[in-house]
Amino acid sequence: MTGPTSSPSSTPAWSATVLGYPRTGADREAKKALEALWAGRADLAATEAALAGVRAATVRRLNSLGLPAHDASIPSAFSAYDQVLDAAVALGAVPDRFADVVGGDGRVDLVGYSTIARGRGADAPLEMTKWFDTNYHYLVPEISPSTSFRFADDRGVREFSEALADGFLTRPVVVGPVTFLLLSKPAAGSPDGFAPVQRLDDLLGAYEDLLRAYAAAGAEWVQLDEPALVSGSATAGVADPAGLVATAYERLSRSPGRPRLLVTTPYGDPGELLEPLARTAVDGLALDLVRGSAPRDTSLLAGKTVVGGVVDGRNVWRADLSAALRVLRPLQGAAAHVVAGTSTSLLHVPHDVDRESGLDERLRGWLAFADQKVAEVVVLGTALRDPDAVGEVLTASAAARADRVGAPGVVRAEVRSRLAALTPQAFRRSDYAVRRNAQDEALGLPLLPTTTIGSFPQTAGIRRARAAWARGESDDTRYEDYLRSEIDRVVALQEELGLDVLVHGEPERNDMVQYFAEHLEGFAVTAHGWVQSYGSRCVRPPILFGDVVRPEPITVPWSAYTRSRTAKPVKGMLTGPVTILAWSFVRDDQPLADTASQVALALRDEVADLEAAGIGIVQVDEPALRELLPLRAEDQPAYLRWSVDAFRLATAGAADATQVHTHLCYSEFGEVIDAIDGLDADVTSIEAARSRMEVLADIARVGFARGIGPGVWDIHSPRVPSTEEIAEQLRAAVAAVPARQVWVNPDCGLKTRGYEETTASLRHLVAAAHAVRAELAARPVTAPA
């Protein structure tokens, strides 16, 4: 069988497409199938069959929503775990420690594939990290000078053939070579100065074989995703990114026997990197016209198929179809063929808003989940060819959007006037020195105070109690009694362990964002709105649709109860405004900064109520502060300004004697260190154990002057660190930072841990703090220079 030649001649007929679709299945069938395999409840064949069922249902669904079966507008964009791992496996880039999972035919079965993703014994899994500025996480390939790239695993081709046999000519989707290498890291043991991009030529040979295999199987188009082209940090270390792009695509677009190539640049604007790509003979370009814009020099689009990504793949609001058409129409003069599309894969949104019968009907009318977005691109594709055909649909869609403007709860005068009346004073606390004295007096903490990040293990008992309460099987009183007994247990344990600052353990929280969303007006929560976070993990982000109001205190009763059970200082934990925004679908009718300020005001009231209830320490978690950092350097200062302001607005109402903590879940301080300093928190806890306290150098370098708790226990693994190991980390900390600034805490919350390792590890943590305190006390006092 032969595919199109290197200069395909027939005119592509497609008019609409999406760059990808959720992979978990409408009822999370793929997630459940994988977890059954891992738990030994299902065998390989049953798991493969379940995943094939999700793929078949997806293709049929996309077809029934209006994408034709035979023009390649339906993507084959499935992944059992992660698309970057898929590319690594397809291209022979499996790390040596997992070489045994690759079969003689180059294939990796689902068990082996899961092993690379999840590790086994001493073989660490591939590192996981965030996919651009989304809440999706991918696995980082490890590339060495000797990685032998080849077209190894043909799973993607088999999936394409499976759809074809079912009657659908789909468009396979693969991570592109430039992004693949830029997202990879050098394998351990690679020589100094080695970077994966140096292997481009070898990798391209494997891509050529892969593309030919798709063409031979009958694929007319293959989509290569190149989001790295829009990201300043992805291309940062590369001397000549334009040259890299040109080299890759000149070669692939001239490769004999290839299918047509659609290259996508989602999540932003490729800027100056569009030109080297467009100058090659690739057949199609998919541009993100939500975050980015069409090139000023439209001659770059000449002769190409251009997928205009006008429907937002990352948010849940109905598109403004008329505005989208105004963006698409001018492209028709410049490109050979214009296709209406989504800005990104629909991986980031839930399946179908029509299933959300529990949502307010009016709100539901404003929303478009994945299926509704497919319908939107189909309408736009039709409108491009026949403007009269969809007039009524456009009118109805505009009316649904307009309905939002004046709807109750969207704009609330009391919120607007409170924000408008804010003065700079609302963002400022007293000088740190003044606060420090007041807090020392109020709290009376020892040197190297010990604490935790807030959550204690979410036991099966807690989950059962919450589920029974959610189903209405147990009433509020019974559920709350249960939570109070849980708090009693956690308090008693902390007292027995000898921790200095106690927490209530957060047993009431299903999720650190959803819990607050459920207790604030302006948010709605879905029943089926699952979105993949990584692998089989899914989250259900709330929808922030209106002005934010806190109808009553949220966490205060739990913290106040805790305080009544102990004489030790109690810390209350809140989720910060940036993190609440980052892990929600946020209204698109006003700047993010304004929405953040509204959330901040609600939290400010919560802080005041905690204070009034006698809680002397309040922690505002901002683990997502870095996640929302814009991809392009020029957009970063404005973001850092409003995100820091939102945190300060939430916390600056606190009295001098109230100690404000913040917690951040990462150790790569570099990019955001000034912002973290700007938060002006009295104490900042960060992740440090996994990087063996490397972060201390950064902290010392910038002269961070307030409290700092570099995590001394990596809570991501059930491993119990020894007292001596923790003491060693503490010694490193007090060597880098004055001891009176140092706090002793784990890397993050303990909700995913079990009690056994939690108790043992905390015992060691407290013992290590005691040991190092004693060493410091015995140290001869040297006069300051």
Residue 454, binding choice from Zn ion, ligand GLN, none, Cβ under 5 to 8 Å by partner class: ligand GLN
H-helix segments, 542-591: 556-564, 577-582
Instruction: Report the alpha-carbon distance of residue 142 to residue 215 in Å, rounded.
Output: 28
Is 217 or 578 the residue whose CB approaches ligand GLN more closely? Answer: 578
Among the candidate windows 443-451, 500-508, 615-623, 639-647, which touches Zn ion by CB under 5 A? 615-623
Token match 């600034």: residue? Answer: 741
Subset of residues 724 to 753 that bind Zn ion, contact rule: CB under 5 A = 748
Among the candidate windows 31-39, 44-52, 499-507, 665-673, which touches Zn ion by CB under 5 A? 665-673
Under rule CB under 6 A, residue 599 binds ligand GLN = no
Minimum CB separation of residue 514 from ligand GLN in Å reads: 13
Q: φ and ψ at 268, to 5 degrees?
A: 165, -155
Binding mask 667-706 for ligand GLN (x = CB under 6 A): ----------------------------------------
Minimum CB separation of residue 600 from ligand GLN in Å reads: 18
Instruction: Report the alpha-carbon distance of residue 6 to residue 4 in Å, rounded.
Output: 7
Token match 């006037």: residue? Answer: 417
Subset of residues 326 to 355 that bind ligand GLN, contact rule: CB under 6 A = none
Subset of residues 474 to 513 that bind ligand GLN, contact rule: CB under 6 A = 506, 512
The residue among 678, 656, 667, 414 whose CA lies nearest residue 522 is: 414
Q: What is the DSSP letter of 540?
A: -
Among the candidate windows 157-165, 382-390, 452-460, 471-479, which touches ligand GLN by CB under 6 A? 452-460
Token match 């009318």: residue? Answer: 365
Helix or strand run (H / E) with residue 367: none
- Tell me the residue nearest to Zn ion as measured from the CB: 748
- Tell me the residue nearest to ligand GLN as measured from the CB: 749
Token match 């789909």: residue? Answer: 170
Minimum CB separation of residue 509 from ligand GLN in Å reads: 8
Q: Tell me whether residue 521 is exposed, middle or buried, using C-beta atoms within 10 angstroms of its C-beta: 0 to 12, 13 to 18, 19 or more.
A: middle
The residue among 171, 157, 250, 165 whose CA lies nearest residue 210 is: 157
From 59, 644, 665, 699, residue interacting with Zn ion (rule: CB under 5 A):
665
Is 132 or 666 the residue whose CB approaches ligand GLN more closely? Answer: 666
Instruction: At 563, list the tokens.
Output: 């305080």
Taking a C-beta distance cutoff of 8 angstroms, is the pair 450, 501 a contact?
Answer: yes
Minimum CB separation of residue 646 from ligand GLN in Å reads: 17
Instruction: At 289, list the tokens.
Output: 């016209």
Is 370 or 744 the residue whose CB approaches ligand GLN more closely? Answer: 744
Taking a C-beta distance cutoff of 8 angstroms, is the pair 66, 374 a contact?
Answer: yes
CA torsion sign for 87, 93, 94, 95 is: negative
- CA angle 169–285–582, rounded 5-degree value: 95
How many residues interact with Zn ion (rule CB under 5 A)? 3
Among the candidate windows 46-54, 233-241, 620-628, 727-735, which touches Zn ion by CB under 5 A? 620-628
Is 371 or 622 the residue whose CB approaches ligand GLN more closely? Answer: 622
Minimum CB separation of residue 581 from Zn ion in Å reads: 17
Residue 353, binding choice from ligand GLN, Zn ion, none, Cβ under 5 to 8 Å by partner class: none
Subset of residues 744 to 783 that bind ligand GLN, contact rule: CB under 6 A = 748-749, 751
Subset of residues 623 to 642 that bind ligand GLN, contact rule: CB under 6 A = 623
Q: Treating both helix axes as pointing N-terminal to C-terminal, what angle do 44-64 and 110-118 enclose, rounded to 10 degrees?
A: 90
Is 196 or 623 the residue whose CB approaches ligand GLN more closely? Answer: 623
Minimum CB separation of residue 314 from ligand GLN in Å reads: 21
Is 448 or 512 the residue whose CB approaches ligand GLN more closely? Answer: 512
Taking a C-beta distance cutoff of 8 angstroms, is the pair 93, 146 a contact?
Answer: no
Instruction: Report the alpha-carbon distance of residue 122 to residue 406 in Å, rounded.
Output: 58
Is 512 or 672 the residue whose CB approaches ligand GLN more closely? Answer: 512
Residue 455, binding choice from Zn ion, ligand GLN, none, Cβ under 5 to 8 Å by partner class: ligand GLN
Token match 């997502």: residue? Answer: 624
From 455, 555, 595, 741, residue interacting with ligand GLN (rule: CB under 6 A):
455
Minimum CB separation of residue 619 from ligand GLN in Å reads: 7
- Asked if 770 is an active-site residue, the reply is no
From 663, 708, 715, 745, residue interacting with ligand GLN (rule: CB under 6 A):
663
Residue 573, binding choice from ligand GLN, Zn ion, none, Cβ under 5 to 8 Å by partner class: ligand GLN
Among the candidate windows 240-248, 253-261, 447-455, 718-726, which touches ligand GLN by CB under 6 A? 447-455
Among the candidate windows 7-15, 451-459, 467-475, 545-553, which touches ligand GLN by CB under 6 A? 451-459
Q: Which of 337, 504, 519, 716 is catalytic?
A: 716
From 86, 621, 714, 747, residue interacting with ligand GLN (rule: CB under 6 A):
621
Minimum CB separation of residue 442 from ligand GLN in Å reads: 22
Token match 């020894």: residue? Answer: 722
3-state SS, one letter per residue, for 414-470 = HHHHHHHCCCHHHHCCCCHHHHHHHHHHHHCCCCCCECCCCECCCCHHHHHHHHHHH
Subset of residues 538 to 577 that bind ligand GLN, contact rule: CB under 6 A = 573
Separation in Å, CA 17 to CA 313, 362, 576: 12, 28, 37
Minimum CB separation of residue 748 from ligand GLN in Å reads: 5
Subset of residues 223 to 252 that bind ligand GLN, contact rule: CB under 6 A = none
Taking a C-beta distance cutoff of 8 angstroms, is the pair 266, 19 a contact?
Answer: yes
3-state SS, one letter per residue, for 29-67 = HHHHHHHHHHCCCCCHHHHHHHHHHHHHHHHHHHHHCCC
Minimum CB separation of residue 562 from ligand GLN in Å reads: 14
Is 116 or 675 the residue whose CB approaches Zn ion more closely? Answer: 675
Minimum CB separation of residue 622 from ligand GLN in Å reads: 8
Separation in Å, CA 464 to CA 28, 104, 470, 479, 527: 21, 46, 10, 10, 18
Instruction: Report the alpha-carbon distance of residue 598 to residue 601 in Å, rounded.
Output: 5
H-helix segments, 565-665: 577-582, 592-612, 636-651
Token match 């994988």: residue? Answer: 34
Q: Is 693 helix (H, G, I), strand (E, B) or coil?
A: coil
Residue 53's identity, in one-letter code, is: G
3-state SS, one letter per residue, for 162-225 = HHHHCCCCCEEEEECHHHHHHHCEECCCCCCCCCHHHHHHHHHHHHHHHHHHHHHCCCCEEEEE
Instruction: At 648, list the tokens.
Output: 């300060």
Is 139 or 748 the residue whose CB approaches Zn ion more closely? Answer: 748
Is 262 or 665 the residue whose CB approaches ligand GLN more closely? Answer: 665
- The length of the chain is 785
Among the candidate windows 191-199, 373-381, 450-458, 775-783, which touches ligand GLN by CB under 6 A? 450-458
Binding mask 33-52 for ligand GLN (x = CB under 6 A): --------------------
Q: Is 615 helix (H, G, I), strand (E, B) or coil?
A: coil
How many residues interact with ligand GLN (rule CB under 6 A)? 13
Residues labelled as active-site residues: 716
Binding site for Zn ion (CB under 5 A): 623, 665, 748
Binding site for ligand GLN (CB under 6 A): 453-455, 506, 512, 573, 621, 623, 663, 665, 748-749, 751
